[in-house]
Amino acid sequence: MQEKFDKLIDGYLKDQLSFEEKNKVEMMLDYLTDSTAFDNLSKSERDNSKKEVYKRLIEQIKPVKKRPALIIRMYPFLKVASCILLFGVFIAVFQDKLKDVFNIQQYASVKNSSGRITKKILSDGTIIWLKGNSKLDYPVKFKGAVRSVSLEGEALFEVAKDAAHPFIIHCGILTTRVLGTSFNIRHTNNKTEVNVLTGRVFLSSKNTTITLRPYQKAVYLPLKNVITKVVKPVFDVTALTKGTEYDMLFNDVKVGDVLKRIEKKFGISITVKDSTIYNSLITADFTDQSLKNTIKMISEALNIDYEINGNAIILKDKHILTN
């Protein structure tokens, strides 16, 4: 039993587990926590326990080079009789620190079974619209050299541009690799279709690798393990983006309506200090642009300044900012 547990933790630390196995480990860590007993301790005892456990954690992880292993000797400094309780306190207080120290990613999933489109904005700003009966597994926060997710079904991707951290989508054994672009993937048991809207997309299976450019299409057949680029692709961009906020092309549209579309797409709120600009007309194309670029472009078009504070954005006259 101990050997099996060690093997599971080792795979967890090395990011070698499946999504389901990672979830099991997360649940196991949660169940080990006895938060009620920890809350019953006095404030001074809680503070002392945090300092002592963190000190022992740092002492144990410093010499780790090959296989991360936590060997922690527990002493009765918490005035709690049970070692199990102490381990629960340790997990409760330092679970996030452990994950940061070992660069462990926490995973989540979103599933669309309603037949409608479900939008998910990832930690890097990538926007994904799930279609039909689809499922997306993704890290809560991207860490490491690549940004990796897994897809079952169909989704429209608008990947945030980051040349230093490639974005990878796993659909069965087909791997889609991009740096920052937009495309649609439809994955079924019989085939996987990839339609590129902007940028370059690299597809690879066990034996084949191809590159797709804007308005190109490829089909992957898992039974034959073959990726075929369609010579004269015909696909309807409007149909692929229907029900999403992907299309951000505006032609003489009121600024107020444009701002509402921007808020809906990125899940943010925009405050305008000068309400007179709401009725101004604007012609611009913000399609496939990040939130920051979109706000920068609209502020330049209106000759105003802006502030971005998390999910809150303020548009101001320039003289308001400088006073």
| Within this chain, domains 107-241 and 249-322 share the same CATH topology | no
User: Which residues share a beta bridge with 210?
Assistant: 203
Pairing of strands 312-316, 269-272: parallel
What pLDDT shows up at residue 88? Answer: 54
**Among 244, 261, 233, residue whose Cα is nearest residue 182:** 244
Q: Which residue has the higher pLDDT, 122 or 73?
A: 122
| CA gap 17, 14 in Å, rounded | 8
Residue 60 — pLDDT band, cuts 50, 70, 90? very low
Phi, psi at 39, each rounded to 5°? -65, -25
Residue 124 — pLDDT band, cuts 50, 70, 90? very high
And the tokens for 43? 């404030």
- pLDDT > 70 fraction of the chain, expressed in percent and rounded: 66
pTM for this one?
Answer: 0.69
Average pLDDT of the chain, as a whole number: 78
What CATH architecture does domain 249-322 belong to?
Answer: 3-Layer(bab) Sandwich (3.55)
**Among 169, 246, 182, 170, residue whose Cα is nearest residue 212:** 182
Domains of the chain, by residue range, sit at 2-101, 107-241, 249-322
Pairing of strands 182-187, 174-178: unpaired
What CATH architecture does domain 107-241 belong to?
Answer: Sandwich (2.60)
**Cβ atoms 147, 168 nearer than 8 A:** yes
Q: What is the mean pLDDT of residues 255-259?
A: 94
